[in-house]
């Protein structure tokens, strides 16, 4: 029988930011993004060019989601055909209108995770009891993140282009040393408090392959090491943004543990995770003009007690 590994064993000596911003904190490393950090980001706006990073909800080619989740379903409630009925509503002046709704996982599109989204050992971010998640997150929901917003200097780390590939492959890994090397090749450095945007273009395979994309599902990305986690801790990284569904290699190669960085970064350090971004237009622009730094701004929806929220982040160059 294969040896079983636990998250608690893997992360036993991992650094933590619990209590760093007080016993009641619910936004973690976003506390690093002070007014000075906003202004540092503003200084990287050169042309005023705006890039939106959300993937389309209801894409005719399909919406990539974590296995087990279903894409958003949009339903038309009112349209011109409504007024074909004898019981159609009547408004003074003859106004007609269209109305629709969606049924969706709050993390079924480009989205922010709440810090209380993932845990182990019965404790979520900042040491709150995991039972505070029952029926909705009483602590560390997405609402406090949405209330404050996320604004700072963003840096694109185009790992796919750095490796000379259209897209990374299943299970393909890289580490903080390669992030540093990628930044250097792009002509800049990763600085403390930077929002890191990592491009793998892995979701190209979803649009190329359809449902076959989910066979032997194992995304590429960063993978756990104590050195990597210490690097995030020392650099005081507030937010990790990727174009994959879960921000990291799905199964840590050495132990097989699923998504250990969610626990090491989000649960322990309070690093906010942002997933399923479309970085293609931004990456093409950065490759064209050599500017890989910009103002990053994002505000997930204010949803009470929610584990996550859709978002349309902005990169402004």
Please write the tens of the pLDDT for every residue from 76-106.
999 999 999 999 999 999 999 999 999 999 9
pLDDT at 10 over 70: yes
Q: What's the confidence (pLDDT) of residue 5?
A: 81
With beta carbons less than 8 A apart as the criterion, state whether 241 and 313 touch.
Answer: yes
CA 273 to chain CA centroid, nearest Å? 4
Nearest CA to 110 out of 166, 25, 51 is that of: 51
> What's the rounded mean pLDDT across residues 9-27?
97
Q: Angle at Cα 270 formed by Cα 300 and Cα 20, nearest 5°?
A: 125
Task: Compute CA distances 216 → 2, 258, 266, 282, whole Å.
Answer: 19, 14, 26, 30
> HEC string of 201-239?
CCCHHHHHHHHHHHCCCCCCEECCCHHHHHHHHHHCCCE
Is 0.75 topped by the overall pTM? yes
Q: Which two tokens stand for residue 191?
A: 């600085």
Q: What's the confidence (pLDDT) of residue 4?
A: 65
Q: Which two tokens stand for residue 317?
A: 């160059």
Nearest CA to 224 out of 4, 2, 14 is that of: 14
Q: Which two tokens stand for residue 34?
A: 């002070």
Q: What's the confidence (pLDDT) of residue 105?
A: 96
> What's the rounded mean pLDDT across residues 288-294?
98
Task: Compute CA distances 289 → 11, 46, 47, 282, whole Å.
Answer: 41, 11, 11, 11
Tell me the average pLDDT of the chain.
Answer: 96
> What's the rounded mean pLDDT across residues 303-314?
98
pLDDT category, 2, cuts 50, 70, 90?
A: very low
pLDDT at 1 over 60: no
Q: What's the confidence (pLDDT) of residue 174?
A: 97
Go through the domains of the chain in sequence order and give each one's CATH number: 13-61+107-316 (3.50.30.50), 73-103 (no CATH)
């Amino acid at each position: 029988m294969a040896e079983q590994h636990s998250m608690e064993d893997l992360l036993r000596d991992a650094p933590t930011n619990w209590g760093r911003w007080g016993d009641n904190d619910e936004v973690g490393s976003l506390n690093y993004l002070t007014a000075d950090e906003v202004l540092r980001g503003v200084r990287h706006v050169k042309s005023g060019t705006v890039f939106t990073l959300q993937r389309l909800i209801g894409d005719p080619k399909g919406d990539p989601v974590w296995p087990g989740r279903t894409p958003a379903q949009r339903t038309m409630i009112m349209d011109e055909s409504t007024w074909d009925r004898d019981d159609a509503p009547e408004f003074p002046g003859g106004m007609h209108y269209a109305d629709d709704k969606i049924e969706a996982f709050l993390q079924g599109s480009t989205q922010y995770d709440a810090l209380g989204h993932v845990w182990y050992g019965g404790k979520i971010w900042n040491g709150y009891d995991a039972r505070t998640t029952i029926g909705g997150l009483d602590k560390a929901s997405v609402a406090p993140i949405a209330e404050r917003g996320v604004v700072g200097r963003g840096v694109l780390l185009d790992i796919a282009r750095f490796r000379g590939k259209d897209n990374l492959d299943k299970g393909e890994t890289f580490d903080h040393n390669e992030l540093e090397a990628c930044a250097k090749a792009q002509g800049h450095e990763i600085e403390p408090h930077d929002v890191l945007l990592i491009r793998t273009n892995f979701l190209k395979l979803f649009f190329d392959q359809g449902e076959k994309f989910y066979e032997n599902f194992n995304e590429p990305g960063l993978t756990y090491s104590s050195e990597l986690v210490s690097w995030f801790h020392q650099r005081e990284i507030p937010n990790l943004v990727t174009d994959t569904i879960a921000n990291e290699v799905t199964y840590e190669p050495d132990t097989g543990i699923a998504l250990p960085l969610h626990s090491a970064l989000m649960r322990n350090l309070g690093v906010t995770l942002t997933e399923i971004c479309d970085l293609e237009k931004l990456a093409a622009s950065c490759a064209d003009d050599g500017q890989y730094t910009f103002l990053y701004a994002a505000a997930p929806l204010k949803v009470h007690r929610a584990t996550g929220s859709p978002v349309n982040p902005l990169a402004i160059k």
